[in-house]
């Protein structure tokens, strides 16, 4: 699997043959093919070409697949006690590129499609139904009756004996 680090719009992207990348909006029409001008690095298995700053003689060609918008970014300015609330938003414009070829100009080779790792298939074996061993039922816990309200008896004060003569 060949890959390259290319520069577009002042940013660097990792381009893999047969996959897509989203770069800042480019002035190319959908379906048009073009070559990247600045290739910084190229890797193919165990061989690597590192540029100082660019690699000469390596071509990375891409086709414009579509123009898309990025996720919405909301900016909200708020100043307490001043009645200032300003809400704004933005969606960045991107160009989705299909990487067609990475290599030397005129080189003929078949483009390998990136292999997505699929989860291993798990074979299910139907077992003959066997009755499950019955577990003894748990004994229910007997709760002691709770006294919800205390019966508080009001004691009347004892009659006072007067000691007056």
Mean pLDDT of 127-146: 66
DSSP annotation string for 69-116: EEEEEEEEEEETTTTEEEEEEEEEEEEEEEEEEEESTT---PPPPPPP
- Answer yes or no: is 98 within a domain: yes
Q: Is residue 119 part of a domain?
A: no
Torsion angle of alpha carbons 87, 91, 92, 93, nearest 10°?
Answer: -150
- More confident of the two residues 95 and 152: 95
For the stretch 58-77, pLDDT in tens is 999 999 999 999 999 999 99
Answer whether residue 12 is part of any domain: yes
Asked if residue 111 is part of any domain, the answer here is no
* Residue numbers of the domain that contains 14: 2-103
Predicted local confidence at residue 63, as pLDDT: 96
32, part of any domain: yes
Q: How many domains does the chain have?
A: 1
Classify residue 14: in a domain, yes or no: yes
Is residue 69 in a domain? yes
Whole-angstrom distance, CA of residue 2 vs CA of residue 42: 7
């Amino acid at each position: 699997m060949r890959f390259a680090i290319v520069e577009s719009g002042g940013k660097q992207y990792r381009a893999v043959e047969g996959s897509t990348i989203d770069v800042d909006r480019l002035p190319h029409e959908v379906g048009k093919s073009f070559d990247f001008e600045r290739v910084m690095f190229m890797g193919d298995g165990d061989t690597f070409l590192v540029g100082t700053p660019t690699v000469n003689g390596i071509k990375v060609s891409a086709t414009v697949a579509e123009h898309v918008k990025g996720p919405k970014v909301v900016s909200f300015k708020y100043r307490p006690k001043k009645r200032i609330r300003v809400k704004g938003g933005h969606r960045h414009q991107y160009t989705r590129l299909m990487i067609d070829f990475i290599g030397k100009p005129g080189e003929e080779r078949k483009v390998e499609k990136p292999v997505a790792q699929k989860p291993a298939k798990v074979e299910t074996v139907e077992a003959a139904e066997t009755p499950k061993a019955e577990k003894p039922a748990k004994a229910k816990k007997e709760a002691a009756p709770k006294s919800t309200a205390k019966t508080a008896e009001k004691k009347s004060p004892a009659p006072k004996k007067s000691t007056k003569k």
